[in-house]
Amino acid sequence: MQKRTLYIGNLAYTAVEEDLEQAFEVFGEIEDIKLMRDRETDRPRGFAFITFEKEAEAEAAMVMDGKEVAGRPLRVNRAKDKQNNKRPHSNSHNNHQANKTQHQQGNY
Is 64 a member of any domain?
Answer: yes
Is 97 a member of any domain?
Answer: no
Q: What pLDDT does 70 receive?
A: 83
| Predicted TM-score of the model (pTM) | 0.73
**What is the domain extent for residue 79?**
5-84
35 backbone dihedrals φ, ψ, rounded to 5°: -90, 115
Q: What pLDDT does 1 receive?
A: 52
Dihedral, CA atoms, 28, 31, 36, 40, nearest 10 degrees?
160
In the chain, which residues have pLDDT < 50? 85, 89-90, 92-93, 95-96, 98-99, 101, 108
Residue 80: half-sphere exposure toward Cβ, Cα within 13 Å: 6
Q: What pLDDT does 89 receive?
A: 46
Q: What's the rounded Cα separation, in Å, for the pair 108 and 104?
A: 9
Is 16 a member of any domain?
Answer: yes
Q: Count CB neighbours of 96 within 10 A.
A: 10
